[in-house]
Structure 1
Amino acid sequence: MVLLLLVIGAAVALAFVAGRRISWATLAHNQDAMTRWVAAHPVAAVLLFVLAYILTAALSLPNATVLTVAGGLLFGTVLGCVLTVVGATTGASLLLVAARSALGDTLVQRGGGLVTSVRDRLQRDGFNYLLALRLVPLVPFWVVNLAAAVCGMRLRVFVPATVLGIIPDSLVLCSIGSGVGGILAEGRTPDLSVLFAPWIILPLLGLAALSLLPVLLRSRWGTHA
């Protein structure tokens, strides 16, 4: 038991250090070495990437976007997206569970008033509102996780809404990553404004609106009942 706690503690410490070191410059400097290592150790590379993403999501570390792009660079668009969704959903679920424990008060205080605001919506609308928040990520990923935990959302609702909601953005970022090698080699930063291009954001807004349609209908019926 003591050994397990030490391993977990070491993993958390490593994640904090690594999370602060993840940057475009680091990715550019090491992309050739990482690509060769992934080719030589494909299974280990997949497991390490998923673990890194789980820790990043669970600990609300910065630069998850860079990690997602790195997934596309190292594994291609489709596999990178799958690994990102698995890691992000697992890490978010762990954060959800942790926020219900003794860590809950500390985590909620970190989120401040924004967590409380989102929590109120999630308490009323559950799956539909969470899906909308995931599809159009105007609220930080970790804030939504904490708000879902505070309102007592169950994993059977949280997990499918998270998976469905983060697939589009993950797919776009991994697609950028699959062709970003030359840009990084030239010392330039990838242009992520494509996420807000009309052909990306308008369909996502449409899907988010559809996900909230049952909520609006229930509200209308409830008002006239």
Structure 2
Amino acid sequence: MTDMPDAATHPILSKLPLIVIAVVAVFGAYFLRDYLTFEALAQNREALIAFRDANYLLTVLVFIAAYVVIVAFSLPGATIATLTGGFLFATFPGALFNVTGATLGATAIFLAARWGFGESLGRKLEGSDGIVKKIKDGIDENQWSMLFLIRLVPAVPFFLANLIPSFLEVPLRRFMISTFFGIIPGAVVYTSVGAGLGEIFAKGETPNLGIIFEPQIIFPIIGLCVLAALPIILKTIRGKKGL
């Protein structure tokens, strides 16, 4: 009898998780676009609160599971999910539930991409140009600092921040830790907005999702970015002095 070939010998099989994610993302974007919205949350708020009050632990578990699915399959509505976490559970423990769901969902994408494309795409990235190559080089030289930095900087898309480390030699544990703690600042901001949705609903208004770019919010986040980048800066300075 011959041994059964593993996934590595079947390119299509190894890419199956990412193919599933892509297909679900396309169908989800089409079929769920009217459900994962602020309007849907406003219309169902009383039913959600009643269910939470009657089944708190179940609500927490279902919410985190739903958040994992939204992130893992890149479905629309991650921001609405974060607001919902604040609306149902307050800023704390809502932020903890949001960060947990986002981290687990990001890990699913990380593992799927690593299994399907890791080494081959990593070699392609090494020969690429632009922002992706710069992030890759930065991660190679300063993994902890760069992993935190790409989580803290609002300009780096969450999906991209999940994919790039998967193509490199970033350990799973390091990816999960940097993701969990790196997304806390932004998660706390949006969860706190969600915690105030009751008053916003009562006024018939919509939440200010641009709050993260207001000075009192963005400046502390920039400060955290500087702290994350400090080891990289110091290494660069020392390198120049050694020339």
Fold similarity call, TM over 0.5? yes
> 1:123 offset after TM fit, Å?
2.5
1:94 pairs, out of 108, 117, 120, with 108
SS at match of 2:169: coil
Q: Is the Cα contact below 8 Å between 1:28 and 1:185 reproduced in 2?
A: no
Q: Match of 1:161, as an amino acid? A: S
What letter corresponds to residue 215 of structure 2 in structure 1? P
Separation (CA, whole Å) in 2 of partners of 1:150 and 1:45: 35
**Closer, same or farther in 2 for the Cα pair 1:20/1:90, shift >3 Å?**
farther
CA distance in 1, matches of 2:34, 2:229: 36
The aligned residue for residue 126 of structure 1 is 143
Work out whether 1:143 is the aligned partner of 2:160.
yes
- Return the offset for 1:18: 4.3
Normalised by the size of structure 2, how large is the TM-score?
0.78
How much does 1:19 deviate? 6.5
Please tell me whether the aligned partners of residues 117 and 167 of structure 2 are also in contact (alpha carbons under 8 angstroms): no
TM-score by length of 1: 0.84
- Bigger CA radius of gyration: 2
Amino acid at match of 1:197: E
Q: Is residue 64 from structure 1 mapped to residue 81 from structure 2 by the alignment? A: no
The structural deviation recorded for 1:115 is 4.7
User: Which amino acid in the other structure matches residue 177 of structure 1?
Assistant: G
Looking at structure 2, the residues matched to 30 and 185 of structure 1 have their Cα atoms a distance apart, in angstroms, of 14
| In 1, Cα distance between equivalents of 2:73 and 2:178 | 20
Q: Structure 1 residue 103: deviation in Å? A: 6.0
Structure 2: state its 5+ residue gaps.
1-19, 125-129
Give runs of aligned pairs for residues 68-87 of structure 1, distance below 5 A. 68-87=82-101
Kindly provide the CA deviation profile for residues 45-100 of structure 1, in whole angstroms up to 9, marking residues without a partner as x: 11111011111221222221111011000111101101011111111111111111
Structure 2 residue aligned with 1:26: 40
SS at match of 2:180: helix
SS at match of 1:102: helix
The farther-off stretch of 78-87 and 19-28 is 19-28
Size of the alignment, in residue pairs? 212
* RMSD between aligned residues: 2.7
Partner Cα separation in structure 2 for residue 123 and residue 176 of structure 1: 36
Identity over the aligned pairs, expressed in percent? 37
Q: Is the 8 A contact 1:46 1:83 kept in 2?
A: yes
> C-alpha deviations, 1:128-171, integer Å up to 9, x for none?
01212212221111111001111231122212211111111111
Q: Which amino acid aligns with 1:121?
A: G
Task: Give the Å deviation of 1:114.
Answer: 5.8
User: 2:190 & 2:213 partners in 1: Cα distance?
Assistant: 12
